[in-house]
Amino acid sequence: MTAYLNLRKKFARIATLNEAASVVNWDASTMMPEGGAEARGEQMAVLAGLAHEMLTHPGLAEDLAAAERPNDEWDSVNLDLMKVAHQRASALPGDLVEAVTRASSVCETIWRAARPASDFGMVRDSLAEVVKLTREAAQILGQALGLPAYDALLTGYQRGITAAEVTTIFAGYEAFLRDALPRAEALQAARPAEPLPPGPYPEDVQEKICRQLSEAAGLDFKHARLDRSAHPFCGGTPSDIRITNRYDEADFCAALMGVLHETGHAMYEQNLPKDWRRQLVGEAAGMAAHESQSLIIEMQTVRSDAYLGYLAPVLSEAFGKAISVGALKSRLRHVERSFIRVEADEMTYPAHVILRFRLEQAMIAGDLAVADLPGAWNDGFAALLGITPPDDRRGCLQDIHWHCGLLGYFPTYSLGAMAAAQLMAAARAAVPGLDAGFSRGDLSALLAWLRENVHAHGSRLGFNELLRRATGEALNPKAFEAHLTKRYLS
């Protein structure tokens, strides 16, 4: 067992280095002064380069070749994950890895200025560089893994999913949406909307209530922080998780949903199996699995009748304004064709993802030049939702992802939304009184079920196997469509 035990030590060291990188990355988005960006890009590149060197070290390859299959199931899966990680990392030359990291860091910084200016020209060349390098990497990876280039990116974020499967699932959803959206809009139009009281909702009050609700949902703040950044995210490490949020004094809803979304991510990290900390098998099962955990909180739980009934008086008290359950429903369960993904309702959201999925596939295939992105975006958006973005700020500049090198990531959002619906249906069937708890703001029964059926498994199970054990079947968008039908079409 010497070779495998060596591997465990080596992967723990890599994971610890990656933890440091995660702190440095969080700092770049929350704390770093403007002038630190360039040097930070270099720092991130060196950390990524070192992790890459360690993962591709000949001694590690020798250990992998020599390692006997462990008897323990966790160790056995761990060894498999080590092999794939090594394969993925070895396929890419170190200077390409560093070049991608550096180009992404530069592009992300420019994007931070280009988005508010709605000036795609500012970021075009640096985004083209990111896409060019990412495409190169995807092609090399695909060849090494025997996968199409785009699939090589996709499986890096969620293993066991192919672009072909996603294409089918998304085509089915597009058909569902084409029928369901006009019906939902008609039903909504027939009901009078109840408005929320006008703002201002002071930022510091919002931040305070966000933290309270995050803590009440189950996030342990002895091992967590909540800070501000341009785009909410969950970073850090399982024992020191960092969630971020942004605040708009005119509207508290985005901040509230943002923090509870990130809280779902963060609780997954906090509840990963401690015995497997810093081993691949102890990590979260993938980004679609991760998104299922943020959305089961934000969409399935928080926007349920039961939880909104709890939330209305809590918010009324915090803001000193009469906030009714009806007004929260009008706002948080409002279906609308709109331009910004992160503000989209849960029914139209997958359309935003479908667009990005198709565009990034085309860019990786070389069928779409970055210079043509704004036009392709607007055409595709109009085809899916029947409206055209008036500018790039509300079009192809809205998301950070491509600008920081994340291509192949977007599908995981909607796969996660579908999995969340499937998991919630199973949890409701397995745990009586779940909604009675939500109506008291008590998520503990749901969290206990998620711990046992999702979090505690780490990466031991593939995405579909995880869902099969937890819900009785592999990923199936029907639970999501049933959820939407119940919430918006009845």
Return the residue of 21, 419, 423, 484 that touches its own copies, per CB under 8 A. Answer: 21
Site string for its own copies, 116-135 (x = CB under 8 A): --------------------
Least distance CB 272 / its own copies (angstroms): 13
- Find the binding residues for its own copies in span 45-84 (CB under 8 A): 46-47, 50
Phi, psi of 244 (to 5 degrees): -130, 165
Least spacing, CB of residue 17 vs its own copies, in Å: 5
Interface of this chain with its own copies, residues 197 to 226, rule: CB under 8 A: 220-225
User: Considering beta carbons, is residue 46 or 325 the nearer one to its own copies?
Assistant: 46
Which member of 17, 84, 147, 400 binds its own copies (CB under 8 A)? 17
Of 266 and 359, which CB lies nearer to its own copies in the complex structure? 266
Closer CB to its own copies, 43 or 90, in the complex: 43
User: Using CB under 8 A, which of 1, 3, 7, 33 touches its own copies?
Assistant: 33
Least separation in angstroms between CB 127 and its own copies: 24
Among the listed residues 1, 5, 39, 117, the single contact to its own copies using CB under 8 A: 39
224 vs 470 by CB, closer to its own copies: 224
Quick one: which segment of 10-18, 143-151, 327-335, 462-470 binds its own copies (CB under 8 A)?
10-18
Is cis: bond before 33, omega within 30 of 0?
no
Among the residue ranges 37-45, 324-332, 360-368, 428-436, the one whose residues contact its own copies (CB under 8 A): 37-45
CA distances from 141 to 148, 149, 161 (A): 9, 7, 16
Q: Are strands 234-237 and 240-245 parallel, antiparallel or unpaired?
A: antiparallel
Q: Is 43 in the site for its own copies (CB under 8 A)?
A: yes
How near is the Cβ of 246 to its own copies at its closest, in Å? 18
Whole-angstrom distance, CA of residue 471 vs CA of residue 427: 8
Q: Which is nearer to its own copies, 47 or 161 (CB)?
A: 47
Residue number, 47 or 466, with CB nearest to its own copies: 47
Query: What does residue 227 show for φ and ψ, rounded to 5 degrees?
Result: -135, -175
Residue placing its CB nearer to its own copies in the complex, 28 or 427: 28
Q: Smallest gap, in angstroms, from Cβ of residue 53 to its own copies?
A: 10
Contact 242, 26 (CB under 8 A): yes
* Position among 1, 5, 31, 369 found at the interface with its own copies (CB under 8 A): 31
**At closest approach, how far in Å is the CB of 39 from its own copies?**
5
Asked if 95 contacts 103 with a C-beta cutoff of 8 angstroms, the reply is no
89 near 389, Cβ under 8 Å?
A: no
Rg (CA), the chain: 22
Part of the chain binding its own copies (CB under 8 A), chosen from 27-35, 66-74, 110-118, 402-410: 27-35
User: Site for its own copies (CB under 8 A): which residue of 5, 9, 38, 200?
Assistant: 38
Nearer to its own copies, 236 or 437 (CB): 236
Positions marked catalytic: 262
Q: To the nearest whole angstrom, how small is the minimum distance from the Cβ of residue 26 to its own copies?
A: 8
Q: How far is the CB of 15 from its own copies (least distance, A)?
A: 9
Q: Which of 6, 40, 70, 145 binds its own copies (CB under 8 A)?
A: 40
Give 42 or 391: the residue with its C-beta nearer to its own copies.
42
Give the CB-side neighbour count of residue 159, counting CA atoms within 13 A. Answer: 17
Distance of closest approach, residue 258 Cβ to its own copies, in angstroms = 20
Chain residues 240-269 in contact with its own copies, contact rule CB under 8 A: 240
Question: Where do contacts with its own copies occur on this chain (CB under 8 A)?
Answer: 13, 16-17, 19-21, 23-24, 27, 31-36, 38-40, 42-44, 46-47, 50, 220-225, 236-240
